[in-house]
Chains A and B, each alone.
Chain A
Amino acid sequence: MPTPDLDDERFNNERDDRFETYLKHFRPLAPEPLQIETPRRATRRSFVFAAWAAVVAVILIASVLALLSRTGRSSDGPGNLAGGEQLTNQQPLTIGSANAWLAHAPSVDAALDRVPFHRQSTPLPKGKQSALAVLSEDNDKL
């Protein structure tokens, strides 16, 4: 068995070391970020969800309160008329209800502002007239 040449071996080792160093200058490409759901991220996500839920809840509560206060305000007006009569857009304006309205309103202007006027929502058929128009014509003749 031949004796190894120590000089050659040392030279080879040095050459290998240098080549290894050269190879290490090439850095492997980094992988894409790890697609994991860590507990920390899950906690952050649940916190965001809770925050959004709180915001939605606050908006809902505010809407309900606004609706309730509006209803209460409207019941303070015509609803508290004498005899418990209510003048709403759905009811016709009668002399009695108008009197009651005027009696309890702070001023005439305020009462008139609150009187509901109905608009003729459905147009009359052709050739027909409203009773109010006919009566006004009769008044003119008289």
Chain B
Amino acid sequence: MEIIVLLICISLLVALGFLAAFIWSIRSGQYDDNYTPGIRILFEDSTETSDKQPKA
């Protein structure tokens, strides 16, 4: 039965990790714009110009 105590603690730590990851993602601005990336992903790169593109 002692093992369940250990498991509870481990599961809580894992969950805390996810909470931290979520808070980090808000802070780093990942939720600032949740509309434009959805449009951006649909653009096709025109290939013939790839030699003209400067290195960004």
Mutual binders A and B = no
* A contacts, CB < 8 Å to B: none
* B contacts, CB < 8 Å to A: none
